[in-house]
Amino acid sequence: MAQSPLRLRQYFFTKIHFEAVSNYKNPHPDAANQYEVKVQSTVGPRKDNDRDWRVILDLHVSSLEKSAPYQLDLQVTGFFEVLPDFPDDKVKELIRITGASILYSGAREFVLGITSRGPWGPVLLPAISFMKPDQPAEPKAKRTRKAKSTSSV
């Protein structure tokens, strides 16, 4: 197993809003509550060093049920260093995917811990992926036509 080319220097929470809804009534006491997480990720390099990056994740957690036991909004900020031998053209993608994934993992654990001490039981946020889905492949016939028209010009 190889060492990651990304090092987490530090991370911290810059916004934490946690509220246990006092009048929550679980319509299905035996059913596990399911959650949706809306995440906005902001990434950027340090001005004087393009190997040092900051990642900010804003998370809004909502229940998929009509009533929610908790209201949760978080912002987590992390600072990362990319090792010098990692290819320059892949740095931003590494930060966007791996850096954000590391911070989300920390936020998931934080939410689990704080809700475990709440009146309505623990909340384990769903796993998410920061990878962009692959673009659908172009049909072969279109690729051929494009290649022909390009080559004939």
pLDDT range class, residue 3, cuts 50, 70, 90:
confident
What average pLDDT does the chain have?
84
Q: Give the structural domain span for 11.
A: 6-152
* Residue 33 scores a pLDDT above 70: no
Is 64 contained in some domain? yes
* Residue 123 scores a pLDDT above 60: yes
- The model's pLDDT over 131-141, given as tens digits with 9 standing for 90+, comes to 987 555 555 44
Is 77 contained in some domain? yes
Model confidence, pTM = 0.81
* Residue 117 scores a pLDDT above 90: yes
**Where do we find the tokens 């246990």?**
20
Higher per-residue pLDDT: 146 or 121: 121
Structure tokens that stand for 10 in this block: 């530090």
CATH code of residue 46: 3.10.420.10
Q: How many domains does the chain have?
A: 1
Is 143 contained in some domain? yes
Q: What is the mean pLDDT of residues 16-39?
A: 78
Pairs from 89-98 (Cβ < 8 Å, separation ≥ 24):
91/50, 91/51, 91/53, 92/43, 94/5, 94/6, 95/6, 95/43, 95/53, 95/55, 96/41, 96/43, 96/130, 97/130, 97/131, 98/4, 98/6
Higher per-residue pLDDT: 89 or 2: 89
Is 1 contained in some domain? no
